[in-house]
Amino acid sequence: MPECLIVQPIHPAGEEALEAAGIRVRRASAQDMKTVAAEIETADALITRDAGLNAEAMDSARNLKIIANHGIGTNKIDVAHAAELGIPISFTPTANARSVAEHAMMLILACAKRTVEADHAARNGNFRFKFEGGMSELTGKTLGIAGFGTIGRLLGEIAKNGFAMKVLVWSPSVDDDAIRDNGFEPVATLDALLEGSDVISLHRPARPDTHHMINAGTLRKMRPHAILVNTARGALIDEAALAEALESGVIRAAGLDVFDPEPLDESSPLTGLRNIVLAPHVAGSTEDALKATALACAQHIVDALADKRPESLVDAVVWEKRRNT
């Protein structure tokens, strides 16, 4: 019977789908790579979330035929080494997109309405909080989206249709016509996006060219009342520069679901600020999204073990040159 090792918990529906297909499910006893390397030897397939999979673990997996990444980002997986070994990697680019887009809008609203601070004030009987001001509406404001994949597009639709916001998009990999076709306005540079937006939402992958794309210099290009939201990858933001900008009033507020590194250190200067909303990387963790993502991973594994090309491969060339075990 083929075997799938699950590094981190997934929705039970995914495990049930694997078992219904005749695949034995085994859960790793811990998610660190030393443990995974010791337990992966007999696995034919593997599902991992943000723990990823390193080269050492791959080298221990003599039977491994498919790595199913539970989510979009594969920066924690040694993609190059997997390619060398002929192990295809699948991912789930759309399964949790709606959940993440809604979470991004929630962070925008929480910052605009000072929701977390208001909650704290109410719990402590401070009903004079309403006289502090600093809250705003979104209607008529401009949302700037950096990166125009499925999540960015969905967020733009929510902002435009639900809040009558103007939506600007900067995305080096997407044609301007495709952006216009969705009813949004393309801009040519990141600077133009930052300078022209009241709210900025980041939707780019973590790569060398996007590392700290939001830094002291780019933060100064944003409007003083601007809100910055990140549900993509923590490495996009220089967190020390952001903390300074929030404390000094360079920008008004921020909402972060992702950090670099994770988990966020309790001593981070971000944790002591009032004008920031923090979440522990849960944007894609609604019950709906977790179920859809787990089922997508399970289907990728079922297909791969049946010698059928899975949907959504990181590199389709690896599938054509996949290892025979």
User: The domain spanning residue 202 has which CATH number?
Assistant: 3.40.50.720
Residue 133 is assigned to a structural domain of this protein: yes
The verdict on 52 and 73 lying in the same domain is yes
Task: Quote the CA–CA distance of 294 and 308 in Å, as a whole number.
Answer: 19
The verdict on 116 and 240 lying in the same domain is yes
pLDDT surpasses 70 at 325: no
The verdict on 41 and 120 lying in the same domain is no
The verdict on 19 and 128 lying in the same domain is no
Q: What is the pLDDT of residues 146-176, one digit of tens each?
A: 999 999 999 999 999 999 999 999 999 999 9
pLDDT of residue 324: 79
Residue 175 is assigned to a structural domain of this protein: yes
Name the residue range of residue 219's domain. 97-278
Residue 178 is assigned to a structural domain of this protein: yes
- Of 314, 206, 200, nearest in space to 262 by CA: 206
Classify 262 as helix, strand or coil: coil
Strand order through the sheet with 89-90 = 24-27, 3-6, 45-48, 66-69, 89-90
Helix or strand holding residue 152 (H, E): helix 150-163
pLDDT surpasses 90 at 262: yes
Active site residues: 233, 262, 281
**What's the number of domains the chain is made of?**
2
The verdict on 119 and 218 lying in the same domain is yes
Q: What is the DSSP letter of 164?
A: -
Q: What is the mean pLDDT of residues 25-36?
A: 98
Residue 234 is assigned to a structural domain of this protein: yes
Global confidence as pTM: 0.92
Q: What is the pLDDT of residues 220-249, one digit of tens each?
A: 999 999 999 999 999 999 999 999 999 999
Strands (E), the chain: 3-6, 24-27, 45-48, 66-69, 89-90, 142-146, 166-170, 185-186, 199-202, 227-230, 253-256, 276-278
φ, ψ of residue 298 to 5 degrees: the values are -60, -45
pLDDT surpasses 70 at 74: yes
Residue 296 is assigned to a structural domain of this protein: yes
The verdict on 91 and 107 lying in the same domain is no
Residue 33 is assigned to a structural domain of this protein: yes
The verdict on 178 and 32 lying in the same domain is no
